[in-house]
Structure 1
Amino acid sequence: MGPHVSESALAGLVEDLAGEVLVPGDPGYDEARVIHNGMIDRRPAVIAQCANQADVSNAILFGREAQLPIAVRGGGHSVAGTSVIDGALVVDLRRMHTVVVDPEDMTVRVDGGTTMGQMDHACQPFHVATTGGRVSTTGVGGFTLGGGSGWLERKFGLASDNLLAADLITAEGKHVHTDAQENPDLFWALHGGGGNFGVATSLTLRLHQLPRMSMAMLFFLPDDAPEIVRTFRDLAAGAPDGFGGGVIYMPAPPEPFVPEDVVGRLICGTLFTYAGPVEEIRELVAPLMALKPVVEIVQDVPYAELQSMLDDPPGLRNYWSAEYLTGLPDTAVDVFCDRGAGIPAGLPIQHVLFLMGGAVAREGAQYPQPWRTAPWVLHPFATWEDAADDERAEQWVRDVRADARPWSIDAVYLNFVGAEGEQRVVDSYGEENYRRLRAVKAEYDPDNVFRHNHNIAPATS
């Protein structure tokens, strides 16, 4: 339990919590400390599985009294593993996952531990949605407060653009509500500032009508990849806001829709998503289909199902990063394709370009997210099983970032990256925004209790 945790203090926490308290040696402790990235194997001193807002407050006060570092767990998808820290108190929100959909007011209220899949499935019967992450097990809280990039962002804006209100427990264990009128500086900071200011116990998000969703997934052998990527780029440039998607290099998965002689081979794939019927997306992708894909899936798809298409099994080793690009000229296409063609054998690396623009670029200029004006994002995404491959997988991601430097901006959506240093954080907000964020941090967390994240240091007097 660590030198600061007395038996009596721990007993007090157990008594105070409606949820469960786990320490090393308890049944369920090892399962509770596992997160999405299999590279992370840490042993917190105490895991407080909170059941309600009062539990969160009591857990924070306990952790501070015991002088333990405090980590916060929602979905557990941070590639840096910030939701579990050695010797820390983990405020585990996963028991708090109530979703309340109001189709008349077009809002959804979620508890702090809600996952994207839980929210999407609750909204789907009403044919409504809001911008969500591309993986269903992602936590809504961390995703939204970090900015929130997903398939619907060009149509409906980032997830944070749809944030209407939030309830937080501060480092002093106090409840704070924020929206555009109440505590507006805090509300501004939550548009990209992440978990720096408190533990989000509930979020209220704007919903949008989404009667139909469709997709076009096309796999090509990589010989003609530059033409494929340029065609995708040119189609995307004229696409309406309802279209999202990207281009990806990866080994072809062993799925029933993939021909046996293609499984395991490197492919260049394109994915278009569309907030509308399949007839319209089919017309848009006709030039790509003329390039003779080896896999062709064009169909209507429920949004919640689309959201889980890229789910990876937990426990894989993960390392990813991103660069936001000023454009995608032919020279950048060639560099992207050259690197994709050189994915190391045996590594299930995903070399991805996501389309941005639309509502993302038009809205939210007042928020600390300068990366949102970029039309493309390069997202090298490495997952693998064997620790012996760590060095070459991580180096490949770093090499992709280096390739992109001629076209990249300094700012990046921090949910897409791991621990890449303080300057990366400052650059991603911009210096003026960062100064303002530090002032908000100083008001709500002057001791930097919530520092196991893409940290914003509190301003000093």
Structure 2
Amino acid sequence: MTAKTPSELGDLIRGQIIIENDADYEEARQVHNGMIDKRPAVIVRAANAGDVMATVNYARDNGYDLSVRGGGHSGPGFGTNDGGVVLDLSRMRSVRVNPNAKTARAEGGTTWGDFNSATHAFGLATTGGVVSTTGIAGLTLGGGIGYLSRGHGLSLDNLISADIVTADGKMLIANENENADIFWAIRGGGGNFGVVTSFEYKLQPLDTVYWGPMFYEIEETETIFKFYRDYIKDAPREMGAFPAFQIAPPLPFIPEDRHGDMFCAIVACWSGDPAQGEQRFKAFHDVAEVKAEMVGPVPYPAINAAFDGLFPTGIRQYWKGNFVKELTDDAIAAHVQHGPSAPTVSSTMHLYPINGACQEVDAGATAFGHRDANFSMVILAASEDPANDAAHKKWVRDYSGAVAPYSEPGGYINFMDDDDSSRVRENFGGNYDRLLEVKSRYDPDNLFRNNQNIAPQ
């Protein structure tokens, strides 16, 4: 049967139903981005895949807008809506590691903090993000860029199989041999095709990495960027490093009189033998004087949580992103002009490398359509004060506009905001038409539309 009311839905599921005026409602409706203030009619905290199936049927048959929430980190706030149904997977967070097969299966509400903690116990890891509270679901479905990308590919390149509930409320097992078309589509096509209730990943041996941020005077920005451009082309694949802009937070490794100053930074992670780390970081010290740093051997899960304090739940966020093939001198000049004006300690630009193993996968092998890009750039403004929203959005838009002539038309879908719907085709690149075919087959009525949406034919 399909429920007609929240009460009837509650009779079908193991999890929790929350509606307006319930004590948990105000907390349950929040997503990570504090700019998002929406009031769904029904929030379902699913306990298992059966709850997911029942909720999909409820939303579809009653004509409700449906939002799916894993970690809740969607910049545009796709994990909520006004007047519709929110399917919250945050209670589905179990991770089961098979150390002999070097695989792990994790439920759809798992965060990267959950995942890394579970796999680290066995000395194993896979490519994840750079903030531990990010959900594995959204990151993987959009691509999955992180410190290990150059050596082990994107998160989606490490996906072996998935369980997915489609718009008809049915559960599918998706892998290279079963339902291969939708397995292809969810590896880069975002949440357009259903609700993934569990992900199975292949893992790599990894315990301790040599990691840390290095701060340079802002006047060294051009030098740092030109060095990085040449260095990362041929760097060992165990090296994940990206340049950034960073207002110095009040941390012990930064001289107190420099707290609040703007720096150019390189954040680097050596995932090879940690004993080689100091030698591998020598190039970053030779290029210019490092004014402050916190580098050394650390457990891999620790680096995924290092930026959590700069990006707490409720912080107000606005994003833009572009893929970049070549970091030209003109592009660097645009970074030099705009990056140092990042308005808050939580605002930045990161230029993530996606060469190496990421480019060894054929552009048509998964839905991630930009295998020829060398970098994925994100520009982010974030603060606690709503009075800053307009000025911060302007900084992001001006910066993004300045580097756009030296970037690809498309960008990483996980770095898009709610005003980027016109870029959808370009963001999916040459795989858009095939994605459209799969979308039209599995979700012809576009139930799963609260995302970077591929509208079905």
TM-score tier (shorter): over 0.9
Query: Does the 8 A contact of 1:242 with 1:276 survive in 2?
Result: yes
Distance in 1 between the 2:284 and 2:128 partners? Answer: 27
Q: Does 1:244 align with 2:240?
A: yes
Local SS of the residue matching 2:162: strand
CA-CA distance at 1:390 after TM superposition: 0.9
Q: 1:322-361 deviations in whole A, cap 9, x for unaligned?
A: 11112113332222112122334x5642122222211011
Distance 2:165 2:451 in 1: 17
Matched, 1:292 2:284: no
Deviates more, 1:162-171 or 1:218-227: 218-227
Amino acid at match of 1:205: Y
Instruction: Give the secondary structure class of the aligned counterpart of 2:433.
Output: helix
For residue 439 of structure 2, what is the aligned residue in structure 1?
441
Which of 269, 272, 282 is 2:265 aligned to? 269
Provide the residue aligned with 1:349 in structure 2: 347
Q: For 2:341 and 2:166, locate their aligned partners in 1 and report how far apart those are by CA, in whole Å.
A: 47
Separation of aligned partners in 1, 2:212 and 2:165: 42
The 2-side partners of 1:82 and 1:99 are apart by: 25
Q: How big is each residue's C-alpha offset from its partner over 1:204-224, in whole Å with a ceiling of 9 and x where there is no partner?
A: 111111143111421112122
Q: Residues 278 and 105 of structure 1: is their aligned pair in 2 closer, same or farther, counting only changes over 3 Å?
A: closer
Q: For residue 410 of structure 2, what is the amino acid of its counterpart? A: A
Which range is displaced more, 288-297 or 133-142?
A: 288-297
The amino acid across from 1:440 in the alignment is V
3-state DSSP class of the match of 1:250?
Answer: strand
More off after superposition, 62-71 vs 449-458: 62-71
| Correspondence for 2:333 | 334
CA contact 1:243–1:274 (8 Å) conserved in 2: yes
Counterpart among 359, 362, 365 of residue 361 in structure 1 = 359
Give the Cα–Cα distance (whole angstroms) in 2 for the partners of residues 203 and 356 of structure 1. 22
Aligned residues: 452
Q: CA deviation at 1:368?
A: 2.6
The counterpart of 1:55, out of the listed 47, 51, 54, is: 51
User: Which residue does the alignment assign to 1:12?
Assistant: 8
Q: Deviations over 1:38-62 (max 9, x none)?
A: 0001110000111011111111112
Show the counterpart of 1:70: 66
| Residue identity opposite 1:335 in structure 2 | A
For 1:202 and 1:341, the matched residues in 2 are separated by 41
Give the structure 2 partner of residue 109 of structure 1: 105
| 2:255 aligned residue | 259
> SS of the residue aligned with 2:390?
helix
- Contact preservation (8 Å) 1:347, 1:393: no
Cα contact 2:97–2:103 (8 A) shared by 1: yes
1:135 aligns with 2:131: yes
For 1:380 and 1:143, locate their aligned partners in 2 and report how far apart those are by CA, in whole Å. Answer: 17
In the alignment, what sits opposite 1:406? 405
Letter in 2 for 1:414: I
The answer on whether the counterparts of 1:216 and 1:281 sit within 8 Å (CA) in structure 2 is no
| Native 8 Å contact 2:319 2:380 kept in 1 | yes
Give the alignment of 1:22-421 within 5 angstroms. 22-290=18-286, 291-311=288-308, 312-344=311-343, 348-366=346-364, 367-421=366-420
Residue identity opposite 1:109 in structure 2:
R
RMSD: 1.7
CA distance in 2, matches of 1:437, 1:237: 31
1:69 Cα deviation from its structure 2 partner: 0.6
- Listed as ranges, the gaps of 5+ residues in structure 1 are none
Contact 1:18 1:52 in 2 (8 A): yes
Counterpart AA for 2:132: S
Separation in 2, partners of 1:355, 1:144: 17
Report SS of the residue matched to 1:397: helix
What SS does the aligned partner of 2:427 have? helix
Alignment TM-score, normalising by the size of structure 1: 0.94
| TM-aligned CA deviation for residue 83 of structure 1 | 0.4
Q: Is the 8 A contact 2:150 2:356 kept in 1?
A: yes
Residues 418-429 of structure 1: matches in 2 within 5 Å? 418-429=417-428
TM-score, normalised on structure 2?
0.95
Is the Cα–Cα contact under 8 Å of residues 270 and 280 in structure 2 kept in the other structure? no
* Larger displacement relative to structure 2 (419-428 or 31-40): 419-428
Sort the Cα spacing of 1:399 and 1:299 in 2 relative to 1 into closer, same or farther, 3 A: same
SS in 2 for 1:405: helix
Q: Which amino acid aligns with 2:289?
A: K
Preserved contact between residue 369 and residue 428 of structure 1 (Cα < 8 Å): no
Asked whether the equivalents of residues 370 and 411 of structure 1 are also in contact (C-alpha less than 8 Å), the reply is no
Q: Return 89-98 or 227-236, whichever deviates more.
A: 227-236
AA aligned opposite 1:266: M
Contact 1:278 1:298 in 2 (8 A): no
> 1:422 offset after TM fit, Å?
3.6
Deviations 1:87-109 (A, max 9, x none): 01111111111100001111110
Secondary structure of the equivalent of 1:40?
coil
- SS state at 2:105 partner: strand
| Residues 1:452 and 2:450 aligned together | yes
The amino acid across from 1:450 in the alignment is F
Judging changes above 3 Å, is the alpha-carbon distance between structure 1 residues 116 and 219 closer, same or farther for their aligned structure 2 residues?
same
**Native 8 Å contact 2:249 2:345 kept in 1:** no
